[in-house]
Amino acid sequence: MFLLGLLLMLYRWLAARHAVLARAIYGLILIALVPATIVGDRMVLDSGALTFGRGYTIWTDVLVGEVLFVFPPVVYELLR
């Protein structure tokens, strides 16, 4: 959540100055989030510190992460 808060602060600051650039950079961050989630999940699953159950997979985690990261800037843009 701390990382998401920092990203939203950066997005808000940049959107006030260059809205198109803010959207482009945030889009790149969303793209980078996919392999980062896969690698991170793989590492903690292999270490045994985390387990998934009941059909929850790495791709489900990627989808949940993407939705959580997309939702705040979309709401911000709609309210702006």
What integer pLDDT is reported at residue 64 of this predicted model? Answer: 94
Residue 26's contacts (CB-CB under 8 Å, 6 or more residues apart) are 7, 11, 73
What integer pLDDT is reported at residue 17 of this predicted model? Answer: 93
For the chain, give every domain's residue range: 2-79
∠ CA 39-64-11, rounded to 5°: 90
Residue 46's contacts (CB-CB under 8 Å, 6 or more residues apart) are none
Per-residue pLDDT of the chain (80 residues; tens, 9 = 90+): 888 889 889 999 999 999 999 999 999 999 999 999 999 999 999 998 988 888 899 999 999 999 999 998 999 889 88
